[in-house]
Amino acid sequence: MGEVVGAGLLAHAPTIMLPQEIRYELNEGSEITLVTGLHGLHEDVFANETLDYDTVVVFDSHWATTVEYVVASHERRSGLYTSEELPRGMRQIPYDIPGDPELAEATASFAGKHGTWITPIDDPCLPIHYATVNLWHYLGVPGKRWMSIGCCQTADVEDNLRLGRALADAIAAVDRKVLLVASGALSHTFWSLRELRDHEASDPVHVRTPEARAADEERLAWMAEGDHARILRTMPEFLTQKPEARFGHYLMMLGALGAERCTAPGRMYGAYENATGTGQAHMWFDRPAAGWTKGN
């Protein structure tokens, strides 16, 4: 019987891919903790030989679909990645990522049960996005498979939870041990171009508005406490702060963990930081000994 053995809301901000000297220059002479946090996660979780897992599933907030959820079902994706958004900082990044087509197909097979639409695609011309590549660059381990799922831009909260439930059924059906990665930000409003270069440091004082920062920090506190139900109840309020991908990456992950019944507490890797106005953090959830939905 397969299971989710760990999960996290992880930041893929483009600054993590800049050379160290440029990161220091932008951040007033210090390293951004988004980078040190990923190094910590690699050591503690992804490359930890005591943690038994087969596949990493990435909910990719930069991969926008419209009429269905799409799952990358390739045997392998490899090449050089250059971002159309930021080619100066993310240029010809090599990647060689084994996939999990069996899990992708199984996820789609549970779409009808959960009242949603999921299509596995293995087209070699299907683009890959930096919300996957950046995190694989830091966290990928030889022999471990990675499978990406796009965020559907017409999906609401319930739709995203349904995708997660279908994935959970697929994980059980094909007997996979899986790490879930919700790759994306919290609040996600940039400074205007004329102002942006004054707000590139990681200090959260640079997050676009005090209200956005407060909403982000409130939800991170709830995650640390395992109060995911409260995050779900307050999604209408959080949506006014424009979370990345309407927070679909986190919601899909949560759907796979039991939605409002999930009580797993999280721990931060690094600090809550700014990235050109957006709120970024790494929050990791270990599988509790009693399961993801203890007490429910």
Instruction: Read off the pLDDT of residues 3-24 as tens digits, 9 standing for 90 and up.
Output: 999 999 999 999 999 999 999 9
Contact 23, 38 (CB under 8 A): no
User: Which among 129, 241, 132, 255 is positioned nearest to 186, based on CA atoms?
Assistant: 241
pLDDT at position 239 is 98
Mean pLDDT of the chain: 97
Per the rule left: phi > 0, alpha: psi between -120 and 50, beta: everything else, 98 is beta
H helix runs in 54-205, sequence order = 101-109, 130-139, 157-173, 193-196
Token duo for residue 73: 């079902």
pLDDT at position 267 is 98
pLDDT level of residue 68 (50, 70, 90 thresholds): very high
Beta bridge partners of 273: 280
pLDDT level of residue 208 (50, 70, 90 thresholds): very high
pLDDT at position 295 is 55
- Is it the case that residue 99 has pLDDT exceeding 80? yes
Beta bridge partners of 44: none
- Is it the case that residue 145 has pLDDT exceeding 60? yes
- Is it the case that residue 296 has pLDDT exceeding 60? no
The percentage of residues in the chain with a pLDDT greater than 90, rounded to a whole number, is 98
How many other C-beta atoms can be found within 10 angstroms of the C-beta atom of residue 113?
11
Alpha-carbon dihedral 264, 267, 273, 277, rounded to 10 degrees: -10
Q: In the block, which residue shows the tokens 């809301």? A: 9
- Is it the case that residue 276 has pLDDT exceeding 70? yes
- Is it the case that residue 107 has pLDDT exceeding 80? yes
pLDDT level of residue 294 (50, 70, 90 thresholds): confident
H helix runs in the chain, sequence order = 20-26, 33-41, 101-109, 130-139, 157-173, 193-196, 210-225, 228-233, 235-239, 248-256
pLDDT at position 22 is 95
Burial 279-293 (b: 16+ CB within 10 A, else e): bbbbbbbbbeeebbb
- Is it the case that residue 157 has pLDDT exceeding 60? yes
182-206: pLDDT as tens digits: 999 999 999 999 999 999 999 999 9
